[in-house]
């Protein structure tokens, strides 16, 4: 009975957190602010503690997760409608490098030391503080960098090249299975796909590990 109850409560807790994450949006996962971090911890604790507390039943778990979810949702609505609340609930970006100079006071306020800053810069392929004109510490802990002019990459616009259309590559086959939605969205047919496969001396999609299509180019195929 005990294991059965833990199993049932685990499944229900998992489903609750899954649907709650879907409702709240992807920002809860990809852009974790201090408030989001606290919310995630509390949600995990609510479900985790409830699993091994004999006095807590399924209804109590549902109520606790639902209540916390409503509070998070209301907070998100407040930050969307009232800009003044964003600084308090989500935090504000900090300019840690301005015109090539380290902003020591901003770094101190953000509890950021030079080693941490160097680590964040290296994640942006910047290996010297001297190469940075501006750096902003974002609310999710990442850093956005604008290199100095001489350190910036040359773009096609700089070379005055003729603009060309950019097409989104589509995965057509993955692990031997055809992704039919992508095939049809690219306005391609089943006959065309098999013809491309046969041209590569392959019998069927099951012989293909990965296939990618980009408009104007032949089908890129990686066989098993």
pLDDT confidence of residue 30: 46
- d(CA 35, CA 44) in angstroms, rounded, equals 14
**How many residues comprise the chain?**
224
Does residue 202 lie within any of the structural domains?
A: yes
pLDDT confidence of residue 192: 92
83 with 126, same domain: the answer is no
| CATH number of the domain within which 180 lies | 3.30.240.20
State how far the alpha carbon of 177 is from the alpha carbons of 200, 204, 209, 212, 221, in Å. 17, 10, 9, 12, 13
Does residue 81 lie within any of the structural domains?
A: yes
pLDDT in tens, 155-210: 777 778 787 777 778 899 988 899 999 999 889 999 999 999 999 999 999 999 89
- d(CA 95, CA 191) in angstroms, rounded, equals 56
pLDDT confidence of residue 85: 63
Confidence of residue 28 (pLDDT cuts 50, 70, 90): very low
- Pick the more confident residue, 212 or 41: 212
- d(CA 114, CA 30) in angstroms, rounded, equals 25
> What backbone phi and psi angles, to 5 degrees, belong to 98?
-130, 120
- What's the CA dihedral at 59, 60, 63, 64 to 10 degrees? -150
Q: Work out the mean pLDDT of the chain and round it to a whole number.
A: 78
15 with 81, same domain: the answer is yes
End-to-end CA distance of the chain: 48
- d(CA 59, CA 69) in angstroms, rounded, equals 15
46 with 78, same domain: the answer is yes
184 with 215, same domain: the answer is yes
**How much is the pTM?**
0.53
Does residue 160 lie within any of the structural domains?
A: no
- d(CA 89, CA 78) in angstroms, rounded, equals 9
182 with 216, same domain: the answer is yes
- What's the CA dihedral at 193, 194, 199, 200 to 10 degrees? 90
Q: Which helix (H) or strand (E) holds 139?
A: none
State which residues form the domain around 142. 94-151
Confidence of residue 138 (pLDDT cuts 50, 70, 90): confident
Structural domain count, the chain: 3
Of 169, 165, 164, the C-alpha closest to 214 is 169
- Please give the share of the chain, as a percent, with pLDDT higher than 70: 69
pLDDT confidence of residue 172: 93
Confidence of residue 29 (pLDDT cuts 50, 70, 90): very low
41 with 109, same domain: the answer is no
pLDDT in tens, 101-126: 889 888 888 888 888 888 899 998 88
82 with 98, same domain: the answer is no
137 with 105, same domain: the answer is yes
- Pick the more confident residue, 8 or 220: 220
On the 0-12 / 13-18 / 19+ scale of CB atoms within 10 A, 120 is buried
Domain termination site, one of 87, 114, 133: 87
Over residues 30-55, mean pLDDT: 63
Q: What residues contact 36, with CB distance under 8 A and at least 6 apart?
A: 27, 28
143 with 197, same domain: the answer is no
72 with 98, same domain: the answer is no
142 with 185, same domain: the answer is no
Q: Is the pLDDT of residue 54 over 60?
A: yes
43 with 119, same domain: the answer is no
């Amino acid at each position: 009975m005990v294991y059965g109850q833990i199993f049932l409560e685990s499944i229900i807790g998992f489903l609750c957190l899954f649907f709650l994450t879907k409702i709240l949006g992807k920002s809860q996962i990809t852009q974790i602010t201090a408030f989001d971090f606290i919310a995630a911890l509390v949600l995990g604790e609510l479900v985790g503690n409830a699993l091994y507390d004999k006095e807590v039943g399924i209804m109590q778990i549902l109520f606790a997760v639902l209540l916390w979810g409503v509070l998070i949702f209301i907070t998100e609505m407040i930050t969307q409608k009232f800009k003044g609340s964003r600084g308090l609930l989500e935090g504000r970006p900090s300019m840690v490098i301005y015109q090539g100079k380290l902003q020591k006071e901003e770094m101190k306020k953000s509890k950021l030391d030079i080693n941490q800053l160097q680590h964040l810069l290296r994640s942006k392929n910047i290996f010297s503080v001297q190469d940075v004109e501006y750096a902003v510490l974002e609310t999710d802990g990442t850093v956005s960098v604008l290199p100095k002019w001489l350190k910036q990459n040359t773009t096609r616009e700089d070379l005055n090249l003729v603009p060309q259309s950019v097409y989104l590559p589509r995965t057509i086959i993955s692990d031997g299975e055809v992704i039919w939605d992508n095939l049809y969205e690219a306005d391609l047919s089943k006959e065309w796909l098999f013809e491309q496969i046969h041209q590569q001396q392959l019998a069927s999609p099951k012989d293909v590990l990965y296939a990618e299509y980009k408009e104007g180019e032949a089908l890129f195929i990686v066989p098993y």
